[in-house]
Amino acid sequence: MAFTDAARNGYRADLEAIKAAGLFKEERLIHSPQWSEIEVEFPAGAKLKKCINICANNYLGLSSHPDVLAAAHAGLDTRGYGMSSVRFICGTQDIHRELENRLTEFLGTEDTLLFPSCMDANAGFFEACLNEQDVMIADRLVHASIVDGMRLCKAMQDTYKHSDMGHLEDKLREHQDKRFRMIITDGVFSMDGDMAKLAEIVALAETYNAMVFVDDSHATGFIGRTGRGTHEHCGVFGKIDVITTTLGKALGGASGGCVSGRWELVELCRQRARPYLFSNALAPVIVAGALKVMDLITASTDRRDKLEWNTRYWRGLLTGSGFDVKQGESPIVPVMLYHAKLAQDFARDLFEEGIYAVGFFFPVVPKGQARIRTQLSAAHEKSHLDAAIAAFKKVGAKHGILGLDKKELMAKFAA
Amino acid sequence: MDELTKVVRDYVIREYLEEGDDREITETTPLISGGIVDSFSMVSLRRFLEKKYSIHIPDDAATPQAFDTVKSIVALVRRFQNAELKSA
């Protein structure tokens, strides 16, 4: 037997160390569809508790929308349950291509290729399209899936200080000897909720002959006047060479992702990207649901408009109540606590008050940057947010953090 | 502080600290384990050192531990400077 006592004890010691460091994560069991209100069993065996959910990526409230559900049901009936194949063998249905074309039009690109997830899209893209003659220059806060994808690629890796255009320009100048340069950034950064300076990045790319890659997973569907994404918001629609994004957040919340961009790059992914070549095709039920999502978000901007209102309202409530909040415009609103144990205790106390939010700490965010990451949804009503802020204020008062700035918070809870 | 240590420390401050970050970086400040720099971003330091001192740092030596402090980075450079001299 390979799993010896020594192996077992070693791994158990690793897990105990995570617990001792206050970094252990526990799942809570949700007994209802994803919505602004959910029923939660926590701890295991406890009576179900109704909670306001303020930490989902369900930005447009479409994760359990009746029209999306109906379309998914119809997709099951007409196209079956699973493809039992990778795309290029016998895993491509007409609806896969239809969804790719809809995404191409929505994102303002030349072509799109679906992947099982945006994590897979990011894992596959760089290795498929760049080689040892090239350089990847990434913002230091890009999503973990991009870091993983870059590590798989033989191109040179470099990074620039977060959103620091001067530092990016230095790197572009430094790497003029490479065949291709690719600037890599999130559109909206997932932990802080701030937006990339895409207009400046595109200008630098044009000056220094570089391509631009944007992971817009926390933007597609709701950032920009018509929800096309960060590029629309920043006035550079049609100028991004590669966009990766997910169907697992605003666009229905099931699963799936894509690479969308210059035809040549997308086609290279179709020919070479390993997650595309070796992973099962997206299930027809998900494609059918996503097509209905595309119908809904192109017919009206009502949902993204409501999300925008909810975001402004929630940010105002938090700031007015004395919380240390990362400033920004996106519906990702981090309430900064800095200390991992405080974040865990705060989240647990919020749960007792009927508010579902989760503490984020190392390694999900850097050490000393723990937070409660709140996220707004078009499914939130004003009454939800009013109830949530009452709970936040009660818990904030309990822990004595209201009105404290970063220095004061860090000093109060220093280990 | 010797010249090599100063070069390494100055590079770390210039390359990795954000504007307004006034944390003190000493020879023994934990950079990676202290969360100041992530191991992914350290690639640029490795490239800088290889170019400046005409050395090659093999992958198995370029560990997070080797790059965790200014002192350990200086030791790494000296180790491969000596290796280059011996093979010359």
Lowest-confidence region among A3-12, A322-331, A359-368, A376-385? A359-368
| A218 among known catalytic residues | yes
Does B44 reach chain A within 8 Å, measured CB to CB? yes
Instruction: Report ipTM for this prediction.
Output: 0.86
Query: Is the pLDDT score of A53 beyond 90?
Result: yes
Does A312 reach chain B within 8 Å, measured CB to CB? no
Nearest C-alpha of chain B: how many angstroms from A337? 17
pLDDT value of position B84: 65
Residue A373 CA to residue A325 CA, distance in Å, equals 10
Whether the bond into A363 is cis, omega within 30 of 0 = yes
- Nearest Cα to Cα of residue A72 among A295, A291, A221: A291
Mean pLDDT score across all residues of chain A: 96
Q: Where in chain A is the domain with CATH 3.40.640.10?
A: 66-299
Q: pLDDT tens digits, residue range A104-145?
A: 999 999 999 999 999 999 999 999 999 999 999 999 999 999
Q: For A131-197, where are the alpha helices, taking DSSP H only?
A: 144-151, 165-174
Residue A259 CA to residue A149 CA, distance in Å, equals 13
Q: Where in chain A is the domain with CATH 3.90.1150.10?
A: 34-62+302-412
B35 phi-psi bin (left φ>0, alpha ψ -120 to 50, beta other): left
Does B38 reach chain A within 8 Å, measured CB to CB? yes
- The fold of the A66-299 domain, in CATH, is Aspartate Aminotransferase; domain 2 (3.40.640)
| Domains assigned to chain B | 3-16+25-87 (1.10.1200.10)
Strand (E) or helix (H) holding A319: helix A302-320
**Percent of chain A's residues with pLDDT above 90:** 91
Mean pLDDT score across all residues of chain B: 88
Query: Is the pLDDT score of A415 beyond 60?
Result: no
Q: Is-contact A30 A253, C-beta < 8 A?
A: no
Indicate yes or no: CB of A159 within 8 angstroms of CB of B34.
Answer: no
Catalytic residue among A190, A217, A279, A377: A190
Q: pLDDT tens digits, residue range A210-228?
A: 999 999 999 999 999 999 9
> For chain A, what's the residue count?
415
Nearest C-alpha of chain A: how many angstroms from B31? 12
pLDDT value of position B20: 78
A-chain residues near B41 (CB < 8 A): 140, 159
Q: If you count residue pairs, one on A and one on B, with CB atoms under 8 Å apart, how many are there?
A: 26
User: A276 falls in which pLDDT band (50, 70, 90)?
Assistant: very high
Q: For chain B, where are the alpha helices, taking DSSP H only?
A: 3-16, 43-53, 70-87
**Percent of chain A's residues with pLDDT above 70:** 99
| Domain A34-62+302-412 superfamily per CATH | Aspartate Aminotransferase, domain 1 (3.90.1150.10)
Lowest-confidence region among A152-161, A260-269, B12-21, B34-43? B34-43
B-chain residues near A192 (CB < 8 A): none
Cα atoms in the 13 Å half-sphere on the side-chain side of B22: 1
- Its pTM surpasses 0.90: yes
